[in-house]
Structure 1
């Protein structure tokens, strides 16, 4: 029966909150809990770092697209300016041609006279 009383004694020692064994078990449980929290936080950090890297990559891509769009816009503005200048030159030539045509008509012959002479030949 002495075995039974020894078992009861060790059970009481484990159940006793002040016993070193109980404190050790509580400390082990607390350490395990904290280790679980650390692992969860490390997983969160890894996920956030991966998301951050993904966003950095997207941002770099967006910056490249912006640079390309700005270059394309500059080229388009340059082409538009060239076309505007060309249109202005054509308008000036048209005004000059109309003025020359009016002067030719005032002289009596003009373009119609030239065409008529050509058709007669």
Structure 2
């Protein structure tokens, strides 16, 4: 089998009607369900902050209600009032590491996984 390159795309010799397409590899984004993506968008619009992919993976096992997400928004507001840039929000048995400047929850750590961990580059702690 031989190929001819036309305008940067490979074509089979004798078949110049359609270029060869490379198979797209599965990415992590394509593995997300529609519900996961929708929930992220709703949370971002309704509460004013985003949840990173890493944090959403960790929060899947934790069922937060609307009231919980509102309480977390209150944590962002308190941190902004004090001029915080990066904060740890302690809520229930979860430590949420957040970028206040970017309105984003970076990661979440449950109490049983947080033992003997060190959180760096944090300038404040909000206890909710």
Interval containing the TM-score (normalised by the shorter chain) = under 0.3
- Superposition TM-score, scaled by structure 1 size: 0.20
Q: Which of the two has higher C-alpha Rg?
A: 1
Higher helix share: 1
